[in-house]
Structure 1
Amino acid sequence: MVTTTPNETRRRAWKAAAAVTDPELPMLTLADLGILREVEVSEEGAVAVWITPTYSGCPALAEMRVDVDRALRTAGFDDVEVRTALSPAWTTDWITEEGRRKLTEHGISAPGRAPARPSGPVPLTLLPTRTAPRCPRCATADTEELSRFGSTSCKSLHRCRSCLEPFEHVKEI
């Protein structure tokens, strides 16, 4: 009989959960996006996984939970619970360098640094934040926003003024 240490079991559970792909950006894993927050394995072998949605109303959250549960059960874990962590709130700064590279490879402009969040009350701003993301195809910053919303609400639609190609940009959150 092969025995594993608690750390080895946790690493195996993390690896299974980390490999789950995002339903809206399937080139990225939940680990690439920074959505996978924590994995714990109890002495009895129960696995608890915490994921943080990209925003509180994310329609893909239910599918992510099911996919993480399935991945862990496929990896041999029988007692699985997927939990949602809303604090701290997810930020695009949690996207890994590998995740940013994959976005660009797939023609999606990766986000820049997220805006600084003040402590205390959040000031009301009535105008949208405008960004000039680099074109993922030719890398120029000479781009224009076509629509504040792309195929998902966390992306905006842009066009490059140099190569004239349209592209989506993951918004800085």
Structure 2
Amino acid sequence: MVTAVAGARASSGAAWAVAAAVPDPELPMLTLADLGVLAEVTEDGGTVTAWLTPTYSGCPAVAEMAADVDRRLRAAGYADVRVRLRLDPPWSTDLITPDGRRKLAEAGIAPPRPGGASGAAGGSGGGSTPLSLGPTRFANAGGPTALVTCPLCGGTDTEELSRFGSTACKALWRCRDCREPFERVKEI
């Protein structure tokens, strides 16, 4: 039996709970559900299928995510497990849960600003999905330092040091108030 969960996700009870608890390999303070990467878990007879929507199609951590979900579901007693990728609708930072945003900030990583649910409802429902390769969606909304709060001291006088951080989805920033550097998840 499949039941609806927030954000058009589906669950099959215990199988969803097991897969949802898998930590992200690059942001281990978040689960795949917190990050919005776990799109759906279904159970049909004895087969459990978990659908992952990676943060981007070339995400180097997707193989590890899939292996971790498979391993956890099998350890929970599910013998026939399938982990599939879903690229449409595409992942968006809007899919990060409020709990996930809180956990990022507590870990010293500035969460992305919320947007207009572009990932949850922006897919075409089939066929190709348009991809814009311009600046991130907030680059022109007040400049790169607009509304970025330091996760360490809460200051708002921040600056971007590098568009590229330790992973492709993060940028390196510094707070001018406490003078500490911090990473920030980029909006997509």
TM-score (ref. length: structure 2):
0.81
Unaligned runs of 5+ residues in structure 1 are: 1-5
Match of 1:3? Answer: none
Larger Rg, first or second structure (1 or 2): 1
Match of 2:106? Answer: 105
In structure 2, the CA distance between the partners of 1:66 and 1:57, relative to structure 1 (3 Å rule), is same
Match of 1:17? Answer: 19
TM-score (ref. length: structure 1):
0.88
Measured in 2, the distance between the counterparts of 1:142 and 1:151 equals 22
Deviates more, 1:82-91 or 1:131-140: 131-140
Shift of 1:137: 1.1
Unaligned runs of 5+ residues in structure 2 are: 4-10
Q: Deviations over 1:26-54 (max 9, x none)?
A: 000000001001111012x1001100000
* Equivalent runs, 1:112-131 vs 2, <5 Å: 112-114=113-115, 125=134, 129=139, 130-131=143-144
Measured in 2, the distance between the counterparts of 1:137 and 1:19 equals 26
Is residue 2:160 matched to residue 1:145?
yes
Shift of 1:116: 8.2
Measured in 1, the distance between the counterparts of 2:186 and 2:91 equals 12
After superposition, the CA RMSD in angstroms is 2.6
Q: For residue 144 of structure 2, what is the amino acid of its counterpart?
A: T
Measured in 2, the distance between the counterparts of 1:59 and 1:136 equals 26
Identity of aligned residues (%): 59
In structure 2, the CA distance between the partners of 1:125 and 1:51, relative to structure 1 (3 Å rule), is closer
In structure 2, the CA distance between the partners of 1:57 and 1:121, relative to structure 1 (3 Å rule), is closer
